Amino acid sequence: MDNLELETRFADVFNNLLQHKPLIYHMTNMVAISGQAHLALAIGASPVMSLYPGEAAELVAVSDSLLVNIGTPTREGIEAMFVAAREARELGRPALIDPVGYGATNMRTDLVERLLDTKAFGVIKGNGAEISLLGGEGAQVRGVDSADSPRAALAAKTVSRKYNCIAVATGPIDYVSDGRDVFALESGHEWLSLISGSGCYVGTIIAACMAITEPLVAALASLALMGFVAEVAVKKSYGPGSFHCNLFDALFACVRNPSSIVFPKWQILDL
């Protein structure tokens, strides 16, 4: 698919989001949770957030996609994530995992690997360091932030092959791999890294798009959208606070008028 074909697909995805209002079951962290709920609504999806094991299977059954983000783990939340992951696999629900802080502690590394063992996830979306470490490449993490990840592109391909899913590594350049190709996108703005939760927000957009389209297109569309809206938002902003607000407003406006989006171009890397 060339960029022109992709952009037509992206516009269709956003139009369908508004029409179908998919319900996205978020099992996410206490930092980004309310932002993710607001963002889901802004792009035309419906959010439901819960980390309670006793309703996890039922919520998967009524939702259109599942997002599992391990950012602030708790004993009960982890139990609920396994219930939901197994149910999503059983029912064939689209599911995304955000391995926040993979490699930062042994507990997170072990948890992510056990969740991936459920084989529930069609997309693994992390920052460059998380995906690099999952792919066996060197990287530096500082808590939940990526400090350096020079081999994220290659790692995305490795992760995609190893876990038989779409792998997304975010950063100044985003990489997406389906195990065959590695797509690269340079867009957005460095202020995205000054908003705690910007990676989580990307997860929400991808999970919403996964309810509409195949995981590869969902990932490519979401990152291109985020890159474009960040560039629009920064021009109206004075710092991270107004940028955060303007980002949400730009997302709201763009999904309602996809022809106004100037999609940044994806490159296919020769790896």
Ligand X SMILES: Cc1ncsc1CCOP(=O)(O)O
State the binding site for substrate. 49, 197
**Binding track, positions 204-223, relative to ligand ADP; x by CB under 6 A:** -------------------x
Residue 4 burial (CB count, 10 A): 9
Would you say 173 or 253 has its CB closer to ligand ADP?
Answer: 173
Q: Report the partner that residue 188 touches, choosing among Mg ion, ligand ADP, ligand X, none (CB closer than 5 to 8 A by kind).
A: ligand ADP
d(C-alpha 133, C-alpha 183), whole Å = 19
- Residues 6 or more apart whose CB falls under 8 angstroms from that of 161 comprise 179
**36 lines the binding site for ligand ADP (CB under 6 A):** no
**146 lines the binding site for ligand ADP (CB under 6 A):** yes
Residues 98-127 that bind ligand ADP (CB under 6 A): 127
Q: Report the partner that residue 32 touches, choosing among Mg ion, ligand X, ligand ADP, none (CB closer than 5 to 8 A by kind).
A: ligand X
Among 27, 68, 176, 202, binds ligand ADP (CB under 6 A): 202
Q: Report the partner that residue 29 touches, choosing among ligand ADP, Mg ion, ligand X, none (CB closer than 5 to 8 A by kind).
A: ligand X
Annotated binding site for ATP: 125, 170
Residue appearing with tokens 């590695």: 182
Q: Which residues bind ligand X (CB under 6 A)?
A: 29, 31-32, 71-72, 100, 144, 196-200
Would you say 116 or 224 has its CB closer to ligand ADP?
Answer: 224
Which residue number is nearest to ligand ADP in terms of Cβ?
A: 199
Q: Report the partner that residue 170 touches, choosing among ligand X, ligand ADP, Mg ion, none (CB closer than 5 to 8 A by kind).
A: ligand ADP
Residues 169-228 that bind Mg ion (CB under 5 A): 199
Would you say 131 or 154 has its CB closer to Mg ion?
Answer: 131
Buried b (16+ CB within 10 A) or exposed e, 170-193: bbebbbbbbbebbbbbebbbebbb
Which residue number is nearest to ligand X in terms of Cβ?
A: 71
d(C-alpha 216, C-alpha 96), whole Å = 12
Would you say 93 or 108 has its CB closer to Mg ion?
Answer: 108
**133 lines the binding site for ligand ADP (CB under 6 A):** no
- Residues 6 or more apart whose CB falls under 8 angstroms from that of 147 comprise 129, 139, 140, 141
Q: Which residues bind ligand ADP (CB under 6 A)?
A: 127-128, 145-146, 170-172, 174, 188-190, 192-193, 198-199, 202, 223, 226
